[in-house]
Structure 1
Amino acid sequence: MLVWQRLLQAIDRHGKAAMATIVETRGSAPREAGARIVVLPDATFFGTIGGGTLEWRVIADLQAALARQIPHFYTSQRVALGPELGQCCGGRVDLALEVFDRSRRAEVVELADAEASGLFRTRGTQLSDGKLHRSIETTSQLPIGSARIDHGVVEEGFGDDSRVLYLFGAGHVGRALVMALAPLPFRVVWVDPRPDAFPQHVPANAHCLQPQDTPSALDGAPEGSFVLVMSHSHALDLAIVAKALKGQPFAYVGLIGSETKRARFSHQLERAGMAQDDIARLVSPIGVPGIKSKLPAAIAASVAADLLVRDEAIRQALAYGTMGPAEASARAVGGR
């Protein structure tokens, strides 16, 4: 969630906004540290700290804070989910609650600009004016999207570290998949050379490309990107797959189709001189096992679930330094 850009929009439109951040959890909790919810004066909100009674109470607390005639404030709460809220999670969450108004616009603009430029981390301390003063931290290794508190100092990671997915093909399944991925942590580069291939409206996390040389869309792809091939042409599918497998080590290369299609592609790639280790990285059929429906929406749900499993495995592997992205992706689903 690009929180600072959304906060800036809220301040410009409504004059103020309030935010709650989970800064620490103990035991079972509905969301992880770094989860945030922003509440506006008109009672609308975006983001989530897990739903349920905890979120309902926090929204009420933020609405009450917005109604006060004070320009800003910062406070912390420690909530025992079982004894205080009756939630069966049974854990504990530490929350930071803040109000931002127009007097803090310059501060929010600085953080929104940093967010627009990429990933960044902050270190925050509460001073005598009651605000949490954040400074951009260049040495912290805190994961993006997380938060922690240590002796009153709040460290946070911001920015969009969504997995980049190169999706080739804007047919029925491609369209269904783009919609399935719209609320999920993926940035979709949607590629199709055909005129009028794309719908008039696409989700905010999708960017449409129509290059003359379709496989060239992979040039300069970020490290750890996923590639998913489902174009209108088997010949084009083969060219894209060949480029993806023999180029940089993408974390995932998937091809829609049957076991027969995979066997034919493997044979053609081998005849073209590709190494067996590279060919073995091709995932086909795609999606999670057990879903046999050929409805586009069902295929999209299956593939989206598979991509989520792979993305999570890669993040965990990188966090603990146990293996590279491609190996973590393969192991996440038993080598498929």
Structure 2
Amino acid sequence: MNHWIDNLREIAERDEDCVLLTVAGVRGSAPREVGAKMIVTAKQTIGTIGGGELEYQCARTAFEQLRAAGTPVKIRSVRRYPLGANCGQCCGGVVDVMYEYLSGTATAWLNELQHKHNQKQPVVVTTALSGEAGKYLVSERDCAGYEQDIDCPPDVLIAARRLLADGGLAQQDSKYLYEPIRQSDFHIALFGAGHVGAATVDALSRLDCTIRWIDNRNNALPTTLPGNVTAIETAEPAREVAAMPAGAYYLVMTHSHPLDQDICTQVLRRGDFTYCGLIGSLSKRRRFERQLRKNGISAGLLKRLTCPIGVPGVQGKQPVEIALAVAAQLLQARDATENRGSNNVTQNIHVI
């Protein structure tokens, strides 16, 4: 997730110094992936690089750097942590952690990164793993350098743009860490603002996703929402299906069975969805299937309708229990889709 961009922006606006910790390399088993981040200020830590003894040692080092403010501090350094030998963690892998000391006024690259992210422009944050300088923001059209007046090395520029083109994940070579920053392609439309709908939005909004939360009742939707949730009050919720991109995820849980049928019909007719889930029992599914057939939905598309929803084995009926089971099922669907496309995506992790 890219919440760290907003977190750093808020810290900079308070003119506070902080240390940005990033998992820069992984060998073997580790609790977090390359690119995972944690921010350490004088008063708090934000995010996680895996918890446990590893995170404790890293946070302690970052606090020491902050306490040394006023003395010469390297802008950037990388430390290696064997999890078994140094941290007593059973993972047994090796993790490289990059420390970046950020003063409250050194925010030029952060300003530009936030601008590009808000404009939904993909960019690769390219960072030198050693030395005092070397930060670049590489997009398809341009490359901006920070901390120095040296142009981005041609081979680094090529590697960063290849990562953008391939849809690759964060990775490193012997000199640079490459971190693609993109808008999430995990797009969810949730129809219905009842108790289960609210609990499900609460669970899903913590993920790296965008949610369109749709209801046709006056004042049913809350006015205060997380930044990745858009509330849509409309007399015709089914028309919102057309606003979603291909590959989207749909959850249908309104107060009205006819409205549920209308929404499901529109989603199934599109056919380009990753997941279409309808809240209800098997008997509700059978009734809906009869009506959906009358609406011209083929047997093949009906098989793609998920009803009941939620991972198997969860028997609870409380809204939060249903919400967690549904969120888990959406994650399964998302990961299955990503795994099917993984052969076309560069995901190698290079260790220092």
The superposition leaves residues 239-293 of structure 1 with CA deviations (integer Å, 9 ceiling, x where unpaired) of 0000001015110000001111111111111112222212221110100111122
Query: 1:251 & 1:321 partners in 2: Cα distance?
Result: 18
Q: Is 1:197 paired with 2:200?
A: no
| 2:56 is the alignment partner of 1:56 | yes
Report the TM-score when normalising by structure 2.
0.85
Deviation at 1:162, TM superposition (A): 5.5
Q: Determine if contact 2:221/2:231 at 8 Å carries over to the other structure.
A: yes
Picking from 99, 111, 114, the partner of 2:113 is 111
Counterpart code for 2:65: A
Question: Partners of 1:268 and 1:29 in 2: how far apart?
Answer: 50
CA RMSD of aligned residues (A): 2.1
**Partners of 2:322 and 2:168 in 1: how far apart?**
29
| Residues 65 and 134 of structure 1, relative CA distance in 2, 3 Å threshold | farther
Structure 1 equivalent of residue 156 of structure 2: none
Q: Partner letter of residue 37 of structure 1?
A: M
SS of the counterpart of 2:107? helix
- Work out which of the residue numbers 101, 107, 124 in structure 2 matches 1:121: 124
Partner in structure 1 of residue 288 of structure 2: 265
Instruction: State whether structure 2 residue 294 is matched by structure 1 residue 291.
Output: no
Residue matched to 2:163: 141
Contact 2:271 2:301 in 1 (8 A): no
Aligned to 1:93: 95
Is the 8 Å Cα contact of residues 24 and 147 (structure 1) preserved in structure 2? Answer: no
* 1:26–1:93 CA contact under 8 A, matched in 2: yes
Out of 266, 275, 288, the position equivalent to 1:243 is 266
Distance 2:293 2:8 in 1: 53
Task: Name 2:349's counterpart in structure 1.
Answer: none
With 172-181 and 61-70 compared, the bigger mean Cα shift is at: 61-70
Q: 1:181 aligns with which of 185, 195, 204?
A: 204
Most deviating of 254-263 and 155-164: 155-164
Deviation at 1:49, TM superposition (A): 0.5
AA matched with 2:328: A
State the Cα distance separating 1:187 from its structure 2 match.
1.9
**1:12 aligned partner:** 13
SS of residue matched to 1:273: coil
1:74 maps to what in 2? Answer: 76
CA contact (8 A) 2:17 2:66 kept: yes
> Of 168, 171, 174, which aligns to 2:194?
171
Match in the other structure for 1:33: 34
Q: In 2 relative to 1, CA 202–65 (structure 1 residues): closer, same or farther, beyond 3 Å?
A: same
- Whole-Å Cα distance in 2 between the matches of residues 228 and 209 of structure 1? 15
Cα distance in 1 for residues equivalent to 2:225 and 2:261: 26
Cα distance in structure 1, aligned partners of 2:162 and 2:53: 33
Question: Unaligned regions of 5+ residues in structure 2, if any?
Answer: 141-160, 346-352
How far is the alpha carbon of 1:213 from its aligned partner? 1.6
For 2:108, the aligned partner's letter is: A
Aligned position for 2:325 = 302
- Which region of structure 1 is more displaced relative to structure 2, 226-235 or 170-179? 170-179
- Whether 1:230 aligns to 2:253 is yes
- Distance apart, 1:71 and its partner CA: 6.9
Structure 1 counterpart of 2:117, which letter? E
Residue 212 of structure 1 deviates from its aligned partner by 2.4
For residues 74 and 113 of structure 2, what CA distance do their matches in structure 1 show?
17
Q: Deviations over 1:284-320 (max 9, x none)?
A: 0100111122211111111111111111222222222
Taking the aligned partners of 1:196 and 1:137, their CA distance within structure 2 comes to 41
Q: Deviations over 1:96-132 (max 9, x none)?
A: 110112442222101111222223213223686x133
Contact 1:34 1:145 in 2 (8 A): no
RCO greater where, 1 or 2, for CA within 8 Å and sep 6 or more? 2
CA distance in 2 between partners of 1:197 and 1:321 (Å)? 43
Q: Distance in 1 between matches of 2:291 and 2:187?
A: 28
Residues 1:269 and 1:259: Cα distance change in structure 2 (over 3 Å): same
